[in-house]
Structures are given as C-alpha cells and as structure tokens.
Amino acid sequence: MIGRVGANVGGRLAYLAAVMLCAAAATFLMFELLPGSLADAILGENATAEDIARLEAELGLDRPLAERFAAWLWHALQGDLGRSHITGEPVASAVAERLPVSIELMVLAQLAALAIALPLGTLAGYREGTRIDRIISGGAFGVLAVPHFVLGILLILVFAIWLRVLPATGFVPFAADPLGNLRSMVLPTLTLALAEAPVYLRLLRSDLASTLREPFITVARAKGLSDRRILLTHALRPSSFSLITVMGINIGHLIGGAVVIETLFALPGLGRLLIEAIIKRDYPVVQGLVLFVAAAFVVVNLVVDALYALIDPRVRHDRRR
C-alpha cells in the first residue's frame, strides 16, 4: 500500500514541480514585461539614459532573459528571493519575520471557523428541512454575503469603539506578551473565522444530509445504533471531503497572508508586506513574495491530496485521475 501511494505521490510531485517551474517563469516574466526596467524605478524620473544604462549593467539587467531567469531561479532555490531595492533587506528574511504572524492568524482562524461550522453544520444537516436548519442555513447565507473587510469593520465598530473591550488594530508579538498577543488577535481571528465558517457549514451540511440518505445509514439504524453514534462514527467521515478540500485551499491561500485582514488590523504579516511592496513599487519584493506564496500553496495542496488517502480508503487502493 505504501508503495502505491508512494508512486502516486511521486508522480504528482513531478507534475507539480513542472507546474511550479512554469509558475516561477510566469512570475519572472510578469515583471520583466513592465514598461521601464528596475533601474528606471530605482533612479526615478530625473535619471538620464546613461545613468539608467550604467545601473542596468551594474545590476546585471542587460544580460539575456533566459540567463537572468536561470540566475534568479537558482538563487530562489537556495533561499535567496532577492532584495528590496528600497530598503535593501533580503526578501527571505522579511518573509521569515512575518510568516509566523500570518500562520498564527491562519491556524487560529481555521480552528475558530471549525468550532463554529462543525456543530452548526452537523445540526443543520441532521435536521435538514426543519426550522432549525432553515435558521442556521439562512444565518450562514447572510453572513456569507458580507465582504471580509466589512465584517472586520463591523467587529471593530462593536468591540473596539462601542464596547471598548478589544484593541482595534496593532499586534503584540507572542514572545513579548502572550496575553496581549492573543487579545490583539481576537478580532482578526473572528473576522476571518466568520468569513470562512459559513462556507464550511454549508458544505458540511449538504454533504451530511446526502450521506444520511445513503442505504448504509438505514442499515446502521436497523442495527439499533443511536442517532448520535451513527452521526459520529458513520456519517461524519464520508461527509467531510468537500470541507477538507476547501479548507486545504483556504490554508494554502492564507499562508500567503490574509491581505485584507492584515491591512485592516495592521498586523505585520506576509499579506501586508505584499500590499506595501506593491504600493511602493518594490518589484523585487513582490516577485520574491509571489513565488514563495505560490510554492507554499502548491505544497499545501499536495498535503491535502495525501490526506484524502488517509480518510477515504477507496482512494488509497485505487487512485484514478
């Protein structure tokens, strides 16, 4: 069994490596196609043509495209994602500094979202069509229609401005002050969790409702098992595939930082780094970041794929594309 899973994973890995290579090339090309070169951007508007040419030669920008791409890629594989041309700081170290913040947000938010979606989604799916289901589904639907940033603003309005129990913005590092850290993370976590929970809830509800219509559930009832036991041991696992898929995609996205949330709450994560780099036109940083985020995303997807094999034994024995 391990052998077959291994072979499949190997094949998938090779394919993904190829995709990543193309994605890296696309990232590189995106910025090369910009009007005006990097030297242009650094020197600004008053630079003469000679100044630009000189800086280009210095930075190695006059070498052929393929060569520059290879060099860039080679550096990236070694962990050197370039340098900010504004601060001179290596992108890799900026990433290392800000990644933990984004990850903390992601983990807390996923846990919170599950804490909301699992019980409510199970209840709604189990009692499909009843009033409680309509209330839960309707609520989820309504929350889903509120954009993330509006959710965040509403929460800030209520908790930070009206009730004054939580800080509106700002981040306290965990190492410095654990409690302060958690306090500053409550609103961002809640915002993100409320943004994702409705999706998880609806997926779980619909999958669960349809699993409960399967014949093997009737068989389980005919065996005299209680409803609670049936839900927990028979119904939940087959109903979780869509949920896990979407969770995987979300986690993959969130590794790159929840851009909107971080900006709204002034958290020093990867998302905010990206936005600031874009606004300041710090293209090397944008390039390096996009590459990192894409790579992380692809890796997470691979892990989620492997997770399927753990949950669904049919996948283990028979991987068909």
Partner 1 sequence: MTALLDIRALSVRFPTAQGELSALDSVALELQPGATLGLVGESGSGKSLLCRAILGLLPRAAFVAPEARIRFGGEDLLRLDSAAMRAIRGRRIAMVFQDPMTSLNPVRTIAAQLIEGMRVHLGLASADARQRALELLDQVGITAPEQRLGQYPHELSGGMRQRVAIAMAIACRPELLIADEPTTALDVTVQAEVLQLLRRLQSQHRMAMILVTHDLGLAAGYTDEIAVMYAGQIVERAATRVLFKTPRMPYTRALIASVPRLDGEPQRRLVAIPGRAATFYGDPPQCRFAPRCERREARCLQEKPALVPAGSDRHLYRCWNPEAA
Partner 2 sequence: MIVDGERPIEAAAPRAMPPRVLLPLAWLALVAAAALAAPWLPLPVPHAMDFAAAAQGPSLQHPFGTDLDGRDLLSRVVHGARISLFVGLAAPTLGLVIGGALGLIAAYYKGFVRRAILGALDVLLAFPTLVLALALTSILGATLENVTLALGIILIPAFARIARANALPLLGREFVLAARTAGAGDLYILLREVLPNMAMPLLTYWLTMISLVIVAEGSLSFLGVGIPPPAPSWGGMIAYGREALERSPHVTLVPAAVMFLTVLSLNLLGDALRQRTEAREGALR
Please give the torsion angle defined by the CA atoms of residues 286, 17, 258 and 282, in that order, rounded to the nearest 10 degrees. 0
Q: Does 220 bind partner 1 (CB under 8 A)?
A: yes
Site string for partner 2, 233-272 (x = CB under 8 A): -------------------xx--x--xx--x---------
Q: What are the DSSP calls for 76-105, one per residue?
A: HHTT---B-TTT--BHHHHHHHHHHHHHHH
Q: Which residue has the tokens 């894409």?
A: 294
**Which of 170, 313 has the CB closer to partner 2?**
170
Q: What are the DSSP calls for 275-315, one per residue?
A: HHHHHTT-HHHHHHHHHHHHHHHHHHHHHHHHHHHHH-HHH
Rg (CA), the chain: 24
Binds 205, which of partner 2, partner 1, none (CB < 5 to 8 A, cut-off by type)? none
Residue in 14, 17, 18, 115 binding partner 2, rule: CB under 8 A: 18
For residue 9, the one-letter residue type is: V
Q: Does 40 bind partner 1 (CB under 8 A)?
A: no
Residues in the chain, how many? 321
For residue 49, the one-letter residue type is: A
Q: How many CA atoms lie within 13 A of 221 on its CB side?
A: 9
**Which of 73, 225 has the CB closer to partner 1?**
225
Are 9 and 287 within 8 A, CB to CB? no
Site string for partner 1, 290-319 (x = CB under 8 A): ---------------------xxxx--xx-
Q: Does 73 bind partner 2 (CB under 8 A)?
A: no
**Which of 220, 259 has the CB closer to partner 1?**
220
- Distance separating alpha carbons of residues 99 and 113, to the nearest angstrom: 21
Q: Does 294 bind partner 2 (CB under 8 A)?
A: yes
Q: Which residues of 306-319 are buried (b: 16+ CB within 10 A; e: fewer)?
A: eebbeeeeebbeeb
Query: What are the residues whose beta carbons fall under 8 Å from the beta carbon of 145, sequence distance 6 or more?
Result: none
Binds 312, which of partner 2, partner 1, none (CB < 5 to 8 A, cut-off by type)? partner 1
Q: Does 222 bind partner 1 (CB under 8 A)?
A: yes
Stretch that binds partner 2, among 71-79, 88-96, 113-121, 290-298 (CB under 8 A): 290-298
Q: Which parts of this chain interact with partner 2 (CB under 8 A)?
A: 18-20, 22-23, 26-27, 30-31, 33-34, 141-142, 144-150, 153-154, 156-157, 161, 252-253, 256, 259-260, 263, 274-275, 278-279, 281, 286, 290, 293-294, 297-298
- Interface residues with partner 1 (CB under 8 A)? 214-216, 218-226, 229, 233-234, 237-238, 311-314, 317-318
